[in-house]
Amino acid sequence: MKENHSININGSLFGLTTPLVMGILNVTPDSFYSDSRTQGDGEIEKRVLQIIGEGASIIDIGAYSSRPNAVDVSTKEEMSRLRKGLEIINRVAPNAAVSVDTFRADVASMCVEEYGVAMVNDISGGELDREMFQRVAKLRVPYILMHMKGTPQTMQQEPHYEDMIREMLFYFSVRTQQLKELGVNDIIIDPGFGFAKTLEHNYELMGHLEDFEIFDMPILVGISRKSMIFNLFGNTPAEALNGTTVLNTIALMKGADILRVHDVRQAVEAIKIVEKMKECTNAK
């Protein structure tokens, strides 16, 4: 039976008995889903209020697109974009729990120390900045440890695994132990759907999602409007909402604790449906 998890966010304990929704705030000009790009002050403010208003518990702000073949962005530019977004968040939603989507330790430090960001979401699992694990330990914030091979520029160049699930379990075993030894108490596992994985890899991973409960840590799933949906149907990210909701529901049934999404309301509804079903089933 899965243990009830919790994470410490800004000194408050967030229980995960009921899964949480993390709303995506992209302050980039080139994210794969064009409708999620927000750059002007008004656009950012509107998106922040939408995320909170539709029921998300966490805002995940990112300023470096991690789509395949994304153009590299300098640390200076990433920080500039984040400062703009974080200033708006702190003005219009000062009590919001905020996560920063970055693989750079210096960027993480700036966001936590200057703007009170509560969580670090690292797509590289510490691989793209060897200072990240030490820095997160020093910052004493929850850390989202994601699985990826290579970089955003190279990750989809013929990804290969002898045994994907086994390799991923080893990957997380090594890195969670390193983080624990450094004193990082709140670790969230993200299997990294769409990162260094083919269409078939992604669906194999979804089929084995419950295998990652072995770590007894919260599991985050981010499949919102990704290529595993629109490539399957031959359409576009703009047409992938229905598939996203279906996969989010499957993920919840398989133990997901946090859903990272563009479409907050639909994810909140999926959680309510799954939780109601569990409640009625357990009542018998």
CATH of residue 208: 3.20.20.20
In the chain, the amino acid numbered 214 is I
Q: Mean pLDDT, to the nearest integer, of 43-65? A: 95
How many domains does the chain contain in total? 1
Condensed to tens digits (0 to 9), the pLDDT of residues 196-247 reads 999 999 999 999 999 999 999 999 999 999 999 999 999 999 999 999 999 9
Q: Is residue 198 part of a domain?
A: yes
Report the alpha-carbon distance of residue 193 to residue 24 in Å, rounded. Answer: 15
| DSSP type of residue 100 | E
Q: With contact defined as beta carbons under 8 Å apart, do 152 and 70 qualify?
A: yes
Q: Is residue 1 part of a domain?
A: no
Q: Is 91 a known active-site residue?
A: no
Q: Mean pLDDT, to the nearest integer, of 104-125? A: 97
Query: Residues near 245 by Cβ (< 8 Å), separated by ≥ 6?
Result: 263, 266, 267, 270
| β-pair type (6-9, 12-15) | antiparallel
- pTM over 0.85, yes/no: yes
**Two structure tokens written together for 125:** 């699992």
Q: Is residue 224 part of a domain?
A: yes
Query: Structural domain of residue 107, as residue ranges?
Result: 6-283
Q: Is 76 a known active-site residue?
A: no
Res 251: pLDDT: 98
Q: Is residue 68 part of a domain?
A: yes
Res 1: pLDDT: 40
With a cut of 50, say whether residue 33 has pLDDT above it.
no
Q: With contact defined as beta carbons under 8 Å apart, do 192 and 147 qualify?
A: yes
Q: With contact defined as beta carbons under 8 Å apart, do 172 and 146 qualify?
A: no
Which is the catalytic residue, given 67, 138, 260, 272? 260
Q: Mean pLDDT for the chain? A: 92
Q: Is residue 16 part of a domain?
A: yes
Q: Is residue 23 part of a domain?
A: yes
Which is the catalytic residue, given 47, 104, 135, 226? 226
Query: Which parts of 116-198 fold into alpha helices (H)?
Result: 132-139, 164-182
DSSP bridge pairs for 176: none
Q: Is residue 239 part of a domain?
A: yes
| CA angle (219 as vertex; 110, 252 as ends), nearest 5 | 130
Residue count of the chain: 284
Q: Is residue 56 part of a domain?
A: yes
